[in-house]
Amino acid sequence: MAGTALPGRLSWQLAELVEVVAETPRVKTTVFDVPGWPGHRAGQHVDVRLTAEDGYQAERSYSIASAPDGRRVALTVQRLEDGEVSPYLTDELRPGDKIELRGPIGGYFVWEPSEGGPLVLVAGGSGIVPLMAMIRTRAAAGSDTETRLLYSSRSPDDVIYRDELERLSGSGLTVVHALTDSQPPGWTGYARRVDAEMLAEVGPGPAERPRFYACGPTPFVEAVAEALVRLGHDPRAIKTERFGPTGG
């Protein structure tokens, strides 16, 4: 029947922008109100569809940044200069404007507090987004699951959620930063790309049977996964999500 969603198929929904938060000079979080939102799990994503006046459509997928919270859905978007979607989401949308989204999508790269840990989250750049949903979900549930975040960024100005991560640290959450390009005066943390030695120092050993979630650019994620296997971790405990050039 026309206008009826097929069983098992996700339908496009209208989402209204209610808040914009500047995270870094190139990254913003857009918070949407989505009537009828079915809820989501930390680590899932949505498809966003924009339609121009001439009918041209562009779609992109974005990880959900927020913990499950009623009908609110937060997307953290990095602006790509030559992108079709990200410049509109970060620069043009105003509170009250509406977009189409479809989701939640994905059931592999997800975590819930009931699953426990130890948990090791490894993020490269904007790969922090679905991992932040896990951290926020953990905090909202009052979970004390041992969780360690290793977050690789180019510089201090590129660290997304910097203040919130500092505020949430403690109660079993340890946040470790690696700054690859530039570091502030007096920096005593990691100043190189994530490697096997770093992963061994930050994460629990194989005997503790930690669960790993790694997200970031494809080369970053592949290097992390390969290093973890070399360190003796169970490949089945390593979940990855990667992204590459998509046109933004």
How confident is the prediction along the chain (248 residues), in pLDDT tens digits per residue? 334 444 446 899 999 999 999 999 999 999 999 998 999 999 999 999 998 888 899 999 999 999 998 899 999 999 988 888 999 899 999 999 999 999 999 999 999 999 988 999 999 999 999 999 999 999 999 999 999 999 999 999 999 999 999 999 998 999 999 999 999 999 999 999 999 999 999 989 999 999 999 999 999 999 999 999 999 999 999 999 987 654 45
Show the domains of the chain with their CATH numbers: 13-105 (2.40.30.10), 113-243 (3.40.50.80)
Residue-level pLDDT at 45: 96
Residue-level pLDDT at 248: 59
In which order are the strands placed within the sheet that holds 119-124? Answer: 173-179, 147-153, 119-124, 211-217, 238-243
pTM attached to this predicted model:
0.92
